[in-house]
Amino acid sequence: EAQVTQNPRYLITVTGKKLTVTCSQNMNHEYMSWYRQDPGLGLRQIYYSMNVEVTDKGDVPEGYKVSRKEKRNFPLILESPSPNQTSLYFCASSPPRGAAFFGQGTRLTVV
Amino acid sequence: KQEVTQIPAALSVPEGENLVLNCSFTDSAIYNLQWFRQDPGKGLTSLLLIQSSQREQTSGRLNASLDKSSGRSTLYIAASQPGDSATYLCAVLDNFNKFYFGSGTKLNVKP
């Protein structure tokens, strides 16, 4: 089954404790991206990757890092999480100029 | 910069009604437009994808149209059911493979 898998689905952490949210897709898509969704602000792009070893900032990249060492994986790293990074996070993948597929989301709470 | 607007922000209808959700975008240079459904706290499920060269797409009770020149798309839902209650998002893909999302229409279908 074609899918984008994120882990964990839910995470509560403390300020400053590094964390990684994993994202994996099985569709051999070149393009992957991370979004955060907040009430009243909609979906905002954090980082995206056009292919292996090619990543770039989206609209709200501050406080986040990503890497793309393999085509299927695109982890999101929060080196020092802060409460304003409490949000619902989505990973997505797509072929060039094609439909986007989304993961089920990761609800992150930073206390 | 591309801006995507969805009207109305919320809609409540009795079961069985036909309804139309609207999506407008400011830059007509798009590759495709995609409609998604999102249930509370869940991921985005793709409903329909319309390529820029197409005028409409249909899937079951759903029909999406695209008028690229005027920057508009509509999602028509026939014979609405309580199970259709969700937030519906539209997204356009630009020439740089970036998606721009509207803020969504929250639909409530009353039994």
For A9-36, the pLDDT digits (tens) are 999 999 999 999 999 999 999 999 999 9
Choose among B49, B93, B101: nearest Cβ to A43: B101
Token reading at B10: 């919320």
Q: Is the confidence at residue A96, as pLDDT, over 90?
A: no
* Contact criterion met (CB below 8 Å) for B2 and B100: yes
Place of tokens 């630009």: B94
Nearest chain A Cα distance for residue B94, angstroms: 8
CA torsion sign for B41, B47, B51, B55 is: negative
Q: Which residue of A has its CA nearest to B48?
A: A99
pLDDT score recorded for residue B95: 82
